[in-house]
Structure 1
């Protein structure tokens, strides 16, 4: 009888060790997969990129205005920044064909910021679709073709936007670090916000007229990025060169 209880206790202990080992093995692989899944998404649905695995993507939104985009382009040229992604609204692009042409000529990537500056999360599906297609047509007329990246005009989007964008052949791009330059907090604050940039970040800045201090802050932003030895790439290059993080969007 004693022998039976000894064997039973050993069996229980062995089984317990196996269960614990299996749990930690499963947890390890789960965490490993989470680390390698740098994007907002549904579990099995289309994704919106917000962070990469390596390098850094400097991005600018331009939705309106006549004054701030050109000085920012001048700074980028002076600082010899070769890889930037500009997200342009179709309506702005139509009104500023020369600046669009310059962005293309200087080798920067163009993504779409819709056509009208409206919150996609508040629009009906058909209106989202029409806004994207209007922007697409505007860029085609400017001979800017094969745009594959889309950023929701106000940054707000939901699963509907992701599905509509995917059907139209676009990847939605968000960001992981906002400089908040559009609030005009002072150049020192913009530089400080940008100084938090790390490997894999998609950095958000603006070149609309509301961003009155961005051009002044930009040289120091670029200097800090270079000091950290972070390679600046376009969003498309970031996507191509690594995986991207995923958080569920409903």
Structure 2
């Protein structure tokens, strides 16, 4: 019977390699867990209130022609929502922005330009959020606290930049997908009403089909016992 011997040098190398592997596994698990917790703490896909309220979030970088009618619908129904606007849009449409704000709607930060923040580094994320913040502050004299990344694109750099600027990141629970050509009035209504529950965030944009769908959505949600409001009303 053969007996295999391992000299001390080889044994030392094997033990060292095993230690490195163990340290790597521990580091990976801790980092992954902490990263996952960071996403949970700093990104809101829905609110945390137990009240029967649903928040409407309207992202604005285009669609000016539909905003006045949208405002009229909300005014008639006595509803105040959150409008997330880009800094570029705000600079070009100051009067319309002021009109939205004059109806007591909440204004949120949608970045300076409509780009994928999930593909950007920390400094670029910081610049985009901060620049929009400054435009909104200068125009409306407000301090925004919610950031909705365009296209829902974000990464760890986005989270860190937002946190450093005292922002919470707002995503959505229900996506109307109203920007897509095949999104009809009926489809938008169905997407909202089949997924509605307390503390959800409904994402929409100023589009023709959204305008058509809103009256039915609002009346149906109210009939089901929900009130409709701003993002700040569902995050405590």
**Length-normalised TM-score, structure 2:** 0.78
Counterpart of 1:33? none
1-structure distance, mates of 2:58, 2:141: 17
CA deviation digits over 1:146-200, x for unaligned, max 9?
Answer: 1100000121112221111000110000001111111142101111111121112
1:50 equivalent in alignment to 2:45: yes
- Change in Cα spacing, 1:44 to 1:138, as seen in structure 2 (3 Å) is closer
1:116 equivalent in alignment to 2:113: yes
Pairing of 1:5-154 with structure 2 (within 5 A): 42-44=36-38, 46-52=41-47, 53-54=49-50, 55-81=53-79, 83-154=80-151
**SS at the partner of 1:229?**
coil
**What is the deviation of 1:44?**
4.6
2-structure distance, mates of 1:70, 1:155: 25
Identify the structure with the greater helix proportion.
Answer: 2
1-structure distance, mates of 2:86, 2:38: 29
- Change in Cα spacing, 1:116 to 1:44, as seen in structure 2 (3 Å) is closer
**What is the deviation of 1:231?**
1.8
Which ranges in structure 1 are unaligned for 5 or more consecutive residues?
Answer: 1-40, 241-250
Counterpart of 2:173? 176
1-structure distance, mates of 2:229, 2:77: 15
CA deviation digits over 1:8-38, x for unaligned, max 9?
Answer: xxxxxxxxxxxxxxxxxxxxxxxxxxxxxxx
**What is the deviation of 1:233?**
2.6
**What is the deviation of 1:58?**
1.0
2-structure distance, mates of 1:149, 1:167: 13
Q: CA RMSD in A?
A: 1.6
1-structure distance, mates of 2:128, 2:199: 30
Counterpart of 1:236? 232
Write out the 4+ residue segments of structure 1 that deviate beyond 2 Å after TM superposition. none
1-structure distance, mates of 2:175, 2:125: 24
Counterpart of 2:29? none
**SS at the partner of 2:151?**
coil
Counterpart of 1:14? none
- Asked whether the equivalents of residues 62 and 69 of structure 1 are also in contact (C-alpha less than 8 Å), the reply is no
Which ranges in structure 2 are unaligned for 5 or more consecutive residues?
Answer: 1-34
